[in-house]
Structure 1
Amino acid sequence: MDDSDQEPDIDERRERAREEVLDAMERAAEIYGLSRSYGRLYGLLFFAEEPMSLDDLVERSEYAKSTVSTAMNSLQRLHLVHRRSIPGEGKKAFYEAERDFWTVFQEFLRREVRREVDTMIRSLDRAEQHLDGLDDEQAQRDLEKIRQLRRMYDRSQSLIDILTSSSLDRLAGLLERLRRD
Protein backbone atom coordinates (compact mmCIF):
# COMPACT_ATOMS: atom_id res chain seq x y z
CA MET A 1 0.00 0.00 0.00
CA ASP A 2 1.51 3.37 -1.01
CA ASP A 3 1.18 6.69 0.84
CA SER A 4 -1.79 7.85 -1.27
CA ASP A 5 -3.91 4.92 0.01
CA GLN A 6 -3.33 5.75 3.68
CA GLU A 7 -5.79 7.65 5.83
CA PRO A 8 -4.82 11.31 6.36
CA ASP A 9 -2.70 11.83 9.44
CA ILE A 10 -3.97 13.50 12.62
CA ASP A 11 -2.63 16.96 11.75
CA GLU A 12 -4.22 16.86 8.32
CA ARG A 13 -7.59 15.76 9.71
CA ARG A 14 -7.47 18.43 12.40
CA GLU A 15 -6.69 21.06 9.77
CA ARG A 16 -9.58 19.87 7.61
CA ALA A 17 -11.94 20.09 10.58
CA ARG A 18 -10.70 23.57 11.47
CA GLU A 19 -10.98 24.73 7.87
CA GLU A 20 -14.57 23.45 7.77
CA VAL A 21 -15.39 25.57 10.82
CA LEU A 22 -13.47 28.59 9.48
CA ASP A 23 -15.42 28.39 6.22
CA ALA A 24 -18.68 28.25 8.19
CA MET A 25 -17.61 31.27 10.27
CA GLU A 26 -16.85 33.20 7.07
CA ARG A 27 -20.34 32.39 5.75
CA ALA A 28 -21.91 33.32 9.10
CA ALA A 29 -20.13 36.68 9.09
CA GLU A 30 -21.49 37.32 5.61
CA ILE A 31 -25.03 36.41 6.72
CA TYR A 32 -24.77 39.09 9.42
CA GLY A 33 -23.58 41.72 6.96
CA LEU A 34 -19.89 41.52 7.82
CA SER A 35 -16.95 40.78 5.61
CA ARG A 36 -16.00 37.11 5.31
CA SER A 37 -12.56 38.09 6.58
CA TYR A 38 -14.12 38.91 9.97
CA GLY A 39 -15.38 35.35 10.24
CA ARG A 40 -12.00 33.89 9.31
CA LEU A 41 -10.15 36.12 11.77
CA TYR A 42 -12.60 35.27 14.54
CA GLY A 43 -12.12 31.59 13.69
CA LEU A 44 -8.34 31.86 13.91
CA LEU A 45 -8.72 33.34 17.39
CA PHE A 46 -11.35 30.74 18.30
CA PHE A 47 -8.88 27.92 17.69
CA ALA A 48 -5.83 29.75 19.09
CA GLU A 49 -4.43 28.36 22.32
CA GLU A 50 -3.38 31.80 23.50
CA PRO A 51 -4.09 35.44 22.56
CA MET A 52 -2.71 36.57 19.20
CA SER A 53 -1.23 39.91 18.20
CA LEU A 54 -2.20 41.84 15.08
CA ASP A 55 1.06 40.71 13.50
CA ASP A 56 0.27 37.06 14.32
CA LEU A 57 -3.18 37.45 12.76
CA VAL A 58 -1.75 39.15 9.67
CA GLU A 59 0.74 36.31 9.24
CA ARG A 60 -1.81 33.53 9.76
CA SER A 61 -4.58 35.09 7.67
CA GLU A 62 -2.46 36.77 4.98
CA TYR A 63 -4.77 39.81 5.20
CA ALA A 64 -3.43 43.37 5.22
CA LYS A 65 -2.73 44.78 8.66
CA SER A 66 -5.36 47.48 8.08
CA THR A 67 -7.97 44.79 7.36
CA VAL A 68 -7.06 42.88 10.52
CA SER A 69 -7.06 46.03 12.65
CA THR A 70 -10.46 47.13 11.34
CA ALA A 71 -11.86 43.64 11.89
CA MET A 72 -10.56 43.47 15.46
CA ASN A 73 -12.18 46.81 16.28
CA SER A 74 -15.50 45.65 14.85
CA LEU A 75 -15.33 42.24 16.51
CA GLN A 76 -14.55 43.92 19.83
CA ARG A 77 -17.60 46.15 19.43
CA LEU A 78 -19.68 43.02 18.81
CA HIS A 79 -18.20 41.42 21.96
CA LEU A 80 -16.75 38.54 19.94
CA VAL A 81 -13.11 39.30 20.77
CA HIS A 82 -11.33 40.84 23.72
CA ARG A 83 -8.21 42.96 23.58
CA ARG A 84 -5.58 41.89 26.10
CA SER A 85 -2.20 43.05 27.32
CA ILE A 86 0.47 40.50 27.99
CA PRO A 87 3.09 41.26 30.66
CA GLY A 88 6.48 41.91 29.11
CA GLU A 89 5.04 42.77 25.68
CA GLY A 90 4.80 46.51 26.26
CA LYS A 91 1.85 48.26 24.64
CA LYS A 92 1.41 45.56 22.00
CA ALA A 93 -2.25 44.51 21.74
CA PHE A 94 -3.29 40.87 21.78
CA TYR A 95 -6.71 39.47 21.00
CA GLU A 96 -8.65 36.42 22.09
CA ALA A 97 -12.01 35.07 21.04
CA GLU A 98 -15.02 34.96 23.30
CA ARG A 99 -16.06 31.33 23.01
CA ASP A 100 -19.24 31.54 25.07
CA PHE A 101 -21.85 32.71 22.57
CA TRP A 102 -24.46 33.14 25.29
CA THR A 103 -22.16 35.76 26.85
CA VAL A 104 -21.78 37.43 23.43
CA PHE A 105 -25.57 37.48 23.02
CA GLN A 106 -26.13 38.84 26.53
CA GLU A 107 -23.54 41.60 26.06
CA PHE A 108 -25.08 42.54 22.72
CA LEU A 109 -28.50 42.79 24.37
CA ARG A 110 -27.13 44.64 27.38
CA ARG A 111 -25.07 47.21 25.49
CA GLU A 112 -26.56 47.58 22.04
CA VAL A 113 -30.22 46.58 22.13
CA ARG A 114 -30.92 48.10 25.55
CA ARG A 115 -29.42 51.39 24.32
CA GLU A 116 -31.79 51.39 21.34
CA VAL A 117 -34.76 50.49 23.54
CA ASP A 118 -33.91 53.24 26.06
CA THR A 119 -33.51 55.80 23.27
CA MET A 120 -36.82 54.83 21.72
CA ILE A 121 -38.69 54.90 25.05
CA ARG A 122 -37.41 58.42 25.79
CA SER A 123 -38.50 59.60 22.33
CA LEU A 124 -41.89 57.93 22.61
CA ASP A 125 -42.44 59.59 26.01
CA ARG A 126 -41.63 63.01 24.53
CA ALA A 127 -43.87 62.37 21.51
CA GLU A 128 -46.71 61.31 23.82
CA GLN A 129 -46.33 64.55 25.81
CA HIS A 130 -46.62 66.58 22.58
CA LEU A 131 -49.85 64.85 21.61
CA ASP A 132 -51.45 64.29 25.00
CA GLY A 133 -54.50 66.49 25.50
CA LEU A 134 -54.80 67.62 21.87
CA ASP A 135 -58.37 67.71 20.65
CA ASP A 136 -57.60 66.43 17.17
CA GLU A 137 -58.66 63.12 15.64
CA GLN A 138 -55.36 62.47 13.82
CA ALA A 139 -53.36 63.42 16.93
CA GLN A 140 -55.39 60.90 18.94
CA ARG A 141 -54.78 58.14 16.36
CA ASP A 142 -51.05 58.97 16.41
CA LEU A 143 -51.08 58.97 20.21
CA GLU A 144 -52.64 55.50 20.28
CA LYS A 145 -50.00 54.21 17.83
CA ILE A 146 -47.25 55.71 20.00
CA ARG A 147 -48.73 54.16 23.16
CA GLN A 148 -48.99 50.79 21.44
CA LEU A 149 -45.36 51.00 20.37
CA ARG A 150 -44.37 52.06 23.90
CA ARG A 151 -46.08 48.95 25.35
CA MET A 152 -44.11 46.78 22.94
CA TYR A 153 -40.86 48.48 24.00
CA ASP A 154 -41.76 48.04 27.68
CA ARG A 155 -42.23 44.30 27.08
CA SER A 156 -38.95 44.23 25.14
CA GLN A 157 -37.17 45.87 28.06
CA SER A 158 -38.56 43.21 30.42
CA LEU A 159 -37.44 40.45 28.06
CA ILE A 160 -33.95 41.93 27.81
CA ASP A 161 -33.76 42.03 31.62
CA ILE A 162 -34.71 38.35 31.83
CA LEU A 163 -32.33 37.25 29.08
CA THR A 164 -29.36 39.20 30.43
CA SER A 165 -29.79 38.00 34.01
CA SER A 166 -30.37 34.28 33.38
CA SER A 167 -28.11 31.44 32.42
CA LEU A 168 -28.78 29.62 29.18
CA ASP A 169 -29.35 26.37 31.05
CA ARG A 170 -31.97 27.98 33.31
CA LEU A 171 -33.81 29.56 30.38
CA ALA A 172 -33.69 26.34 28.37
CA GLY A 173 -35.11 24.45 31.35
CA LEU A 174 -37.94 26.97 31.76
CA LEU A 175 -38.78 26.85 28.06
CA GLU A 176 -38.74 23.05 28.09
CA ARG A 177 -41.21 23.01 31.00
CA LEU A 178 -43.44 25.51 29.19
CA ARG A 179 -43.35 23.41 26.05
CA ARG A 180 -44.43 20.30 27.98
CA ASP A 181 -47.29 22.13 29.73
Structure 2
Amino acid sequence: MSTERESIDQARDIMISAIAQSMVIYGVTPSVGRIYGVLYFSSEPLTLDEIKNQVAMSKASVSNGMRELLETDMVTKVWMKGDRKDHYVAEKDYLRNFLSFFIKKIRQERNLIMKATEQVEPTLEAIVRDTSDDQVKEEAQKDLDLINNSYNYFDWTMRLANAMESGEIFDYLPKTKK
Protein backbone atom coordinates (compact mmCIF):
# COMPACT_ATOMS: atom_id res chain seq x y z
CA MET A 1 0.00 0.00 0.00
CA SER A 2 1.34 3.42 -0.92
CA THR A 3 2.20 5.96 1.74
CA GLU A 4 -0.42 8.29 0.24
CA ARG A 5 -3.09 5.59 0.62
CA GLU A 6 -1.97 5.00 4.21
CA SER A 7 -2.15 8.75 4.86
CA ILE A 8 -5.70 8.89 3.50
CA ASP A 9 -6.71 5.94 5.68
CA GLN A 10 -5.09 7.55 8.72
CA ALA A 11 -6.83 10.86 8.02
CA ARG A 12 -10.18 9.04 7.72
CA ASP A 13 -9.56 7.19 10.98
CA ILE A 14 -8.92 10.51 12.72
CA MET A 15 -12.11 12.01 11.27
CA ILE A 16 -14.18 8.91 12.10
CA SER A 17 -12.90 9.08 15.67
CA ALA A 18 -13.79 12.79 15.87
CA ILE A 19 -17.30 12.10 14.50
CA ALA A 20 -17.77 9.33 17.07
CA GLN A 21 -16.60 11.61 19.90
CA SER A 22 -18.77 14.51 18.76
CA MET A 23 -21.87 12.32 18.62
CA VAL A 24 -21.36 11.49 22.31
CA ILE A 25 -22.19 15.16 23.02
CA TYR A 26 -25.66 14.48 21.63
CA GLY A 27 -26.16 11.26 23.59
CA VAL A 28 -25.14 8.84 20.85
CA THR A 29 -22.67 6.09 21.76
CA PRO A 30 -19.18 6.22 20.25
CA SER A 31 -19.75 2.87 18.52
CA VAL A 32 -22.78 4.26 16.67
CA GLY A 33 -20.70 7.30 15.80
CA ARG A 34 -17.98 5.06 14.34
CA ILE A 35 -20.53 3.19 12.24
CA TYR A 36 -21.81 6.49 10.89
CA GLY A 37 -18.26 7.72 10.28
CA VAL A 38 -17.35 4.62 8.28
CA LEU A 39 -20.46 5.05 6.12
CA TYR A 40 -19.86 8.79 5.80
CA PHE A 41 -16.44 8.24 4.26
CA SER A 42 -17.46 5.25 2.15
CA SER A 43 -17.83 5.98 -1.54
CA GLU A 44 -20.22 3.06 -1.96
CA PRO A 45 -23.02 1.41 0.03
CA LEU A 46 -21.82 -1.11 2.62
CA THR A 47 -23.35 -4.28 4.10
CA LEU A 48 -23.51 -4.99 7.83
CA ASP A 49 -20.63 -7.46 7.42
CA GLU A 50 -18.47 -4.86 5.68
CA ILE A 51 -19.23 -2.31 8.38
CA LYS A 52 -18.60 -4.90 11.12
CA ASN A 53 -15.15 -5.60 9.71
CA GLN A 54 -14.26 -1.92 9.58
CA VAL A 55 -15.44 -0.98 13.07
CA ALA A 56 -14.33 -4.23 14.78
CA MET A 57 -17.68 -4.78 16.49
CA SER A 58 -20.06 -7.73 16.65
CA LYS A 59 -22.69 -8.00 13.96
CA ALA A 60 -25.41 -7.64 16.62
CA SER A 61 -23.87 -4.37 17.86
CA VAL A 62 -23.57 -3.06 14.31
CA SER A 63 -27.17 -4.05 13.63
CA ASN A 64 -28.40 -2.23 16.76
CA GLY A 65 -26.35 0.84 15.90
CA MET A 66 -27.67 0.77 12.37
CA ARG A 67 -31.25 0.69 13.66
CA GLU A 68 -30.55 3.84 15.70
CA LEU A 69 -29.02 5.60 12.68
CA LEU A 70 -31.93 4.57 10.45
CA GLU A 71 -34.44 5.97 12.99
CA THR A 72 -32.80 9.39 12.84
CA ASP A 73 -32.47 9.30 9.04
CA MET A 74 -28.68 9.57 9.28
CA VAL A 75 -28.41 6.33 7.30
CA THR A 76 -30.54 4.92 4.50
CA LYS A 77 -30.98 1.32 3.43
CA VAL A 78 -30.43 0.86 -0.31
CA TRP A 79 -31.06 -2.00 -2.69
CA MET A 80 -28.20 -3.35 -4.77
CA LYS A 81 -29.11 -5.31 -7.88
CA GLY A 82 -27.99 -8.93 -7.67
CA ASP A 83 -27.33 -8.90 -3.92
CA ARG A 84 -29.80 -10.07 -1.28
CA LYS A 85 -27.99 -8.37 1.59
CA ASP A 86 -29.04 -4.95 2.79
CA HIS A 87 -26.66 -2.10 1.98
CA TYR A 88 -26.44 1.23 3.74
CA VAL A 89 -25.34 4.76 2.89
CA ALA A 90 -24.85 7.73 5.18
CA GLU A 91 -26.68 11.02 4.84
CA LYS A 92 -23.74 13.32 4.23
CA ASP A 93 -25.51 16.60 4.92
CA TYR A 94 -24.56 17.48 8.51
CA LEU A 95 -27.19 20.18 8.72
CA ARG A 96 -29.95 17.78 7.69
CA ASN A 97 -28.69 15.24 10.25
CA PHE A 98 -28.64 17.89 12.96
CA LEU A 99 -32.18 19.03 12.19
CA SER A 100 -33.61 15.50 11.97
CA PHE A 101 -31.94 14.51 15.23
CA PHE A 102 -33.14 17.55 17.16
CA ILE A 103 -36.65 17.50 15.77
CA LYS A 104 -36.95 13.90 16.96
CA LYS A 105 -35.51 14.70 20.41
CA ILE A 106 -37.71 17.79 20.89
CA ARG A 107 -40.82 15.77 20.08
CA GLN A 108 -39.75 12.89 22.34
CA GLU A 109 -39.19 15.29 25.24
CA ARG A 110 -42.58 16.92 24.74
CA ASN A 111 -44.39 13.58 24.51
CA LEU A 112 -42.78 12.30 27.72
CA ILE A 113 -43.65 15.40 29.72
CA MET A 114 -47.15 15.76 28.26
CA LYS A 115 -48.01 12.14 29.14
CA ALA A 116 -46.86 12.74 32.71
CA THR A 117 -48.82 16.00 32.81
CA GLU A 118 -51.99 14.25 31.65
CA GLN A 119 -51.49 11.77 34.45
CA VAL A 120 -50.87 14.20 37.33
CA GLU A 121 -52.87 17.31 36.42
CA PRO A 122 -56.30 15.86 37.28
CA THR A 123 -55.00 14.67 40.64
CA LEU A 124 -53.50 18.04 41.52
CA GLU A 125 -56.62 19.88 40.33
CA ALA A 126 -58.81 17.63 42.49
CA ILE A 127 -56.63 18.31 45.51
CA VAL A 128 -56.79 22.08 44.95
CA ARG A 129 -60.55 21.87 44.52
CA ASP A 130 -61.40 19.43 47.32
CA THR A 131 -58.85 19.63 50.13
CA SER A 132 -59.50 21.44 53.34
CA ASP A 133 -55.78 21.55 54.21
CA ASP A 134 -54.52 24.98 53.14
CA GLN A 135 -50.88 23.91 53.11
CA VAL A 136 -51.60 20.90 50.87
CA LYS A 137 -53.78 23.06 48.64
CA GLU A 138 -50.97 25.64 48.30
CA GLU A 139 -48.42 22.93 47.46
CA ALA A 140 -50.67 21.35 44.83
CA GLN A 141 -51.37 24.78 43.32
CA LYS A 142 -47.63 25.55 43.12
CA ASP A 143 -47.08 22.29 41.25
CA LEU A 144 -49.95 23.10 38.88
CA ASP A 145 -48.46 26.54 38.27
CA LEU A 146 -45.09 24.98 37.45
CA ILE A 147 -46.76 22.59 35.02
CA ASN A 148 -48.72 25.43 33.41
CA ASN A 149 -45.55 27.51 33.08
CA SER A 150 -43.87 24.64 31.24
CA TYR A 151 -46.49 24.85 28.48
CA ASN A 152 -44.83 28.03 27.19
CA TYR A 153 -41.57 26.11 26.82
CA PHE A 154 -43.22 23.23 25.01
CA ASP A 155 -45.12 25.59 22.73
CA TRP A 156 -41.84 27.31 21.83
CA THR A 157 -39.92 24.06 21.28
CA MET A 158 -42.69 22.68 19.07
CA ARG A 159 -42.70 25.86 17.01
CA LEU A 160 -38.91 25.51 16.75
CA ALA A 161 -39.20 21.86 15.65
CA ASN A 162 -41.87 22.78 13.09
CA ALA A 163 -39.75 25.66 11.76
CA MET A 164 -36.74 23.34 11.46
CA GLU A 165 -38.82 20.69 9.71
CA SER A 166 -40.43 23.12 7.25
CA GLY A 167 -37.20 25.02 6.59
CA GLU A 168 -38.77 28.25 7.88
CA ILE A 169 -35.89 28.54 10.34
CA PHE A 170 -33.61 29.42 7.43
CA ASP A 171 -35.61 32.61 6.91
CA TYR A 172 -34.21 33.79 10.24
CA LEU A 173 -30.92 31.94 10.31
CA PRO A 174 -29.72 31.28 6.76
CA LYS A 175 -27.68 28.16 6.05
CA THR A 176 -24.80 30.28 4.83
CA LYS A 177 -23.79 33.82 5.68
CA LYS A 178 -24.65 36.30 3.00
TM-score (norm 1): 0.74
The equivalent of 1:146 in structure 2 is 147
RMSD of aligned C-alpha atoms?
A: 2.9
Q: Which runs of 5+ in 2 are unaligned?
A: 131-136
Contact 1:54 1:69 in 2 (8 A): yes
Specify whether residues 125 and 25 from structure 1 end up closer, same or farther in structure 2 by C-alpha distance, changes over 3 A only: same
- Residue 10 of structure 2 corresponds to residue 16 of structure 1: yes
Work out the CA distance in 2 between the residues paired with 1:169 and 1:117. Answer: 23
1:66-81 to structure 2, matched below 5 A, reads: 66-81=60-75
**Cα shift at 1:47:** 0.8
For residue 88 of structure 2, give the secondary structure of its aligned residue in structure 1.
strand
TM-score (norm 2): 0.76
Work out the CA distance in 1 between the residues paired with 2:153 and 2:30. Answer: 35
The equivalent of 2:45 in structure 1 is 51
- Percent identity, aligned pairs only, is 27
Provide, for residues 48-107 of structure 1, a one-character-per-residue CA deviation record: whole Å limited to 9, x for no partner: 1111001211233333222222221222233322222223212x1111111112222222
The equivalent of 2:133 in structure 1 is none
The equivalent of 1:116 in structure 2 is 109
- Number of equivalences: 168
Contact 2:39 2:45 in 1 (8 A): yes
Work out the CA distance in 1 between the residues paired with 2:80 and 2:34. Answer: 23
**Cα shift at 1:21:** 0.3
**Cα shift at 1:25:** 2.0
The equivalent of 1:36 in structure 2 is 30
Contact 1:54 1:65 in 2 (8 A): yes
1:89-128 to structure 2, matched below 5 A, reads: 89-90=83-84, 92-124=85-117, 127-128=120-121
Q: Which runs of 5+ in 1 are unaligned?
A: 1-7
Contact 1:124 1:150 in 2 (8 A): no
Work out the CA distance in 1 between the residues paired with 2:118 and 2:152. Answer: 11
The equivalent of 1:159 in structure 2 is 160
